[in-house]
Chains A and B, each alone.
Chain A
Amino acid sequence: MSDEELDPKELAEAEALARALEGKEPSEDAAPAPADALQAAALLRHGRGHSELGAERGETLLGELTRERFEVANQPSAASTPDNVVALEVKTRRRSLASVAAVSVMLACAAAVLLMIFRPQASLAPRGSTTASAPNNASVKLARELMPAATPALLSAQAKYVTGEPDSSTHFEAQMQSYRQAMFRALESAYPQKLSLLEGPAEACKR
C-alpha cells in the first residue's frame, strides 16, 4: 500500500477528525476519531474562533454591561414612595450634620494637640518686663538695666588685658569673677528661684 492510498479505517477517522475541526457532531455511523486527534482539534477550534474577543462581540458585551449597570442604578425601589423619600432626606441631613460635627471635633482636637505641643511655658520673665519671647526695645533696655553696671575697676582691668600688660590677665579674671557673681545675683532677683550656689547658705539666709 502506498502513502497515497488510505484504508477505509483511516478514511473514517479522517472524516471524523474533519467534522470535529468544523465543530460538527460526529455522524452515528462514522468511526470514532482518535482521542488525541480530537483534543488537538478542540484546541485548534478554540484558538481560532473563541479565545479572542472580536470587535463586534466586544461592543455587544460592553453594551450589555452598561445597560445592566444603568438599570441597577435606576431600579425603582421601595424608597421611591413619598414617605420613604422624606425619610431618606432626613437620613441624608443627619449624615451631613454628623460629618460636620465629626470634622469640628477633629479640628478642636487638632488645635488642642497643637496647643499642648507648642504652648509656651508660663512666663517667669523679669518683673516689670514684657514677654521674653518677643523682646522690644523697651524690654531690652529694662533687661539691661537689671544687669549690674560695669565698675571702672573692671573696665580698667579689661583695657589693660587688651593691651597685654603684664599680670593683666590675672587681675582681669579676678574682676570678672566678682562681676559674674553680681550678674547672677541680679538674675536671681529677676528670676526668683533656688539659687545662691555662689553664696554660702548663711549668706543666702541673711538676704
Chain B
Amino acid sequence: MTRRALVGLALLLAALPGACASRSDAPQPPEDWLSAVQAAHMTADDALADERFDQAHAALQAALDTPARADLHPDHVRVVRQDLCFRLAQIELARDDAEQALSYADRGLALGHGDDVFTANLWVARGKAQEALAQPADAATCYQQALAINQRLLRAALASDAGGP
C-alpha cells in the first residue's frame, strides 16, 4: 500500500512540470487584448479606405481569433467580438460573398443578444446577406429585429437628452 502510494506520488510529481508546461504552451490571451483589437480596427480602416479588403479582413479575423482576456466581463467581450463579426460580414458583402457574410453575422449573433448597437448591426448584416441570397422574407425579419432594437435605443437616448441638464 505504502509503496503504491509512493509510486503514485512520484508519478504525480513527475507529471507536474508537464502539466505546467502544457498550461504555458496553450495560447494565452494577450494582456493588451483590447489594444490588439483596436489596432486591428485601425488597420482595417486604413485598408478599407483603399478598398484593400483582404488586408482589412486579415486584420479583423486575426483579432477575432485572438482569445479574450478572462478577466473581462463577458458582455464586454461579446460586444467587442460582435463588432468584429459585423465588420467582417460587411467586408464579405462588399466582396459579394453573401454566404460568408451570413456566416459571420450568425457567428456574432451566436455570442449573445443585447439591446445594443452591436446586436442590431449583426441583424442588419444578416438581413443584407439574406437579401443578396434572394431570401427577402428572412431579410425582412432580420431588419425588423434590428429596427426594434434601434427604436428602443433611440427612445432611451431621446429620453436621456430630454431629462438632461
Contact = CB atoms under 8 A, between A and B. Distances in A.
Most buried by A among B2, B72, B76: B76
B154 A139 contact: no
A140 interface: yes
Interface in A174-207: 176-177, 179-180, 183-184, 187-188, 190-191, 193-195, 197-198
Contacts of B41: 180, 198
Nearest to A159: B150
A99 B75 contact: no
B1 A99 contact: yes
Contacts of A133: 70
A105 to B, nearest CB: 6
B160 to A, nearest CB: 6
B76 A150 contact: no
B34 A117 contact: no
B19 A152 contact: no
Contact of A195 (B2, B32, B70, B156): B32
A30 interface: no
Interface string B88-106: 0000000000000000000
Interface of B: 1-2, 5-6, 8-9, 12-13, 15-16, 19-20, 23, 31-32, 34-35, 37-39, 41-42, 45, 69-76, 79-80, 83, 114, 116-117, 120-121, 124, 127, 143, 146-147, 150, 153-154, 156-158, 160-161
Q: Give 3 nearest A-B pairs by CB, closest first.
A: A102-B5, A124-B71, A143-B75
